[in-house]
Structure 1
Amino acid sequence: MKVFMLMAGSGPLMILTSHTSIEEPEMLEKLASKGIDKFLAYEVPFDLAKARYGGHFTVVANDLHETDDLRVLDYNGERAFRLFTFAELGPVMMHEPVEEKRAA
């Protein structure tokens, strides 16, 4: 499982997924279906996230099934920012939808 901090238009959130990369097409489709199509993502070390979220992490991880391979670990961006320093996060991955034309 992987843990990612996403910076999206609605604010930061932490997700837990069984996908190996945030950039997998299936993962991008799942995020887009939830209204998240443009974001910055940082991988968070699994063991570190587990330690910082404690029992809540275990509950969310145990509820992760093969048919439901994306779970929100934390909607509260302020809490996620307090729990992790930028130095603890992996390199930034940027994603935005490909647009045929940009409005001027």
Structure 2
Amino acid sequence: MSDWSQTNTVLTAGFAQIPKGTTLYEVSTVVGCVLIIDVDKEVICDASFTFYMDKTSDFLAGLLRGRSVANGMAEITPVVQDRFLGPGQGAVLQAIRGAVERFMEKKRQS
């Protein structure tokens, strides 16, 4: 467990509906994404997802750690599309996008 109190980080979250008719929808109707972002560097420090199986969340978190959000989803989308081939890929990207957009909106207000 990391001590985020010693760094300039924020926690942001995004959510998206999982498409009906997918196996994943039978387990959960929504996917959530939590990102911890370094405010100064605009880089994802850690991530977590609301998947039933931890491996999925761990894998996605590994893909996102160290990725820049300075240009929105530009660095994130191709990696997730290429490496996460699970059902609900679009919902995962939408949840990440929601979290990133929330961070960017707050940054613009500061």
TM-score (norm 1): 0.28
TM-score (norm 2): 0.27
Higher strand share: 1
Structure with the bigger RCO (C-alpha within 8 Å, sep 6+) is: 1
Normalized per residue, the structure richer in helix is 2
